[in-house]
Amino acid sequence: MRASTPATVQADRAIVDILRAMGARVTAGDGFVEAESTGSLEAVEADLRDSPDLAPAVAAVAAHARGVTVLKGVEHLAFKESNRLESITGALRAVGVEAWADGGRIFIRGGRIRGGRASAYSDHRIAMMLAVAAAAAEGPVEIVGAERIRDSYPQFLDHLSSLGVEAEVVAGP
């Protein structure tokens, strides 16, 4: 997939087309992108070779989509802040989502997010992925290592809370 809007040289703009392909209503303008569910999201096959940092975000949305989403071109995720092939799938499995990696691809069967306790694998993007997935979980999600979110997006939980998602960071043992 190649993004057509908004006009930017950033490879991560692919999120616009990915969300649209999943069935989200997306509005893109000068300096902003707004997305909302239309009620039912569908699985997609997305090539993230040029935008690997999107993998956790797309995985969070895929956890809510009907069917099996396939993230291709992600073999190099094994060499990020965590081995994201393992951390994405392991974190999602911990909250009840069927997810696995095979042959440089990640597979996520969306639908039911049970809730539970999951590790962020000391990776800020995995912590944010879990927080987004938790927004529609059947039960609470405890994210071990959620404080890592501050590494890249200190206002993330405040912004998530402004959307109606209850989130807080509590001191661990």
Query: What are the pLDDT digits (tens) for 84-133?
Result: 999 999 999 999 999 999 989 999 999 889 999 999 999 999 999 999 99
Q: Would you call 30 exposed, middle or buried from its count of C-beta atoms within 10 A (0-12, 13-18, 19+)? A: exposed
Q: Could you tell me which residues are beta bridge partners of residue 33? A: 28
| Residues 1 and 14 sit within 8 Å (Cβ to Cβ) | yes
CA distances from 123 to 12, 16, 62, 80, 83 (A): 19, 24, 19, 9, 9
Distance, CA of 37 to CA of 14 (rounded, Å): 17
| Residues 118 and 142 sit within 8 Å (Cβ to Cβ) | yes
What number of residues does the chain have?
Answer: 173
Q: What is the DSSP string of 64-88?
A: TSBSEEEEES-GGGGGSSS-HHHHH
**Tokens standing for residue 54:** 């999107």
Mean pLDDT score of the chain: 89
The class that CATH gives domain 11-162 is alpha beta
Q: How confident is the model at residue 2 (pLDDT cuts 50, 70, 90)?
A: very low
Q: Is the pTM above the cut of 0.75?
A: yes
Query: What are the pLDDT digits (tens) for 51-73?
Result: 999 999 999 999 999 999 999 99
Catalytic residue annotation? 53
Q: How confident is the model at residue 8 (pLDDT cuts 50, 70, 90)?
A: low
Q: Among residues 58, 67, 60, 70, which one has the least CA distance to residue 110?
A: 67
**Tokens standing for residue 34:** 């707004």
CA distances from 129 to 6, 103, 135, 146 (A): 23, 22, 10, 10
Higher pLDDT, residue 4 or 14: 14
Distance, CA of 67 to CA of 102 (rounded, Å): 17
Listed by start position, the domains of the chain span 11-162
Query: What are the pLDDT digits (tens) for 27-52?
Result: 988 888 899 888 889 999 999 999 99
